[in-house]
Amino acid sequence: MLQWPEQFHPTRAAIFVSNELSMSAPAERIWAWLVRAELWPSWYPNARNVRIEQGPRPDLALGTRFRWRTFGVTIESTVEEFAPRERIAWSARGLGVRAYHGWLIEKTAAGCHVVTEETQNGILARLGGLLMPNRMHRYHQIWLEQLNAKAAEGPPPAVVAG
């Protein structure tokens, strides 16, 4: 279960989206692709220019700060929750939007079940919710489906020390 900050709790947010998908890949492999954020643009079409600005690389960790572009907005995110192979969540700030996005991974006999949820506040979030009410839900489902496909291919590439 996500540990929603008070201002981002679904009952207090302008926007709340929840998506889920059962996956055949093991939780460890799903996690490996999810925390390798700088690779997201190679398999998730709504992520661009992902760059870790503070924290260890190449994988996200508690406290990691990263900048990226999604839904046409440049976002600054900080990893706020981090339970390896089980849960990760980050806060996000961009022009006209404040958000909290979390992922839950639950091991199953067939692989794992993954839930991703996001809440948003701010003028741009409200406007997007009015003009394109299903856009975030649709893209988060694509993110889940692409994560599943990528993990089915194998683990992310090994990191070469350099």
- Concatenate the DSSP letters of all residues of 133-161 into one string: TTHHHHHHHHHHHHHHHHHHH-SPPPPPP
| pLDDT tens digits, 16-37 | 999 999 999 999 999 999 999 9
Q: Tokens 């679904």, residue?
A: 10
Tell me, what's the pLDDT at 107?
97
| pLDDT tens digits, 36-56 | 999 999 999 999 999 999 999
Q: What is the spatial distance between Cα 34 and Cα 25, in angstroms, rounded to a whole number?
A: 13
Helix extents (H) in 15-134 = 27-35, 40-43, 123-131
Count the helices and strands in the chain (H runs, E runs): 4, 7
Tell me, what's the pLDDT at 125?
77
Q: Report whether 19 contacts 136 (CB < 8 A).
A: no
Catalogue all structural domains in the chain, each as residue range(s) with its CATH number. 6-153 (3.30.530.20)
User: Confidence band (pLDDT; 50, 70, 90) for 160?
Assistant: low
Q: What is the spatial distance between Cα 87 and Cα 62, in angstroms, rounded to a whole number?
A: 11
Return the number of other C-beta atoms located less than 10 Å from residue 133's C-beta.
Answer: 10
Is the pLDDT reported for residue 162 higher than 70?
A: no
Tell me, what's the pLDDT at 161?
54
| pLDDT tens digits, 89-127 | 999 999 889 999 999 999 999 999 999 999 999 987 777
| Phi, psi torsion values for 149, nearest 5 degrees | -65, -45
3-state secondary structure 9-32: CCCCCCEEEEEEEEECCCHHHHHH
- Record the tokens describing residue 27, joined without a space: 């939780």
Q: What is the CA radius of gyration of the chain?
A: 15
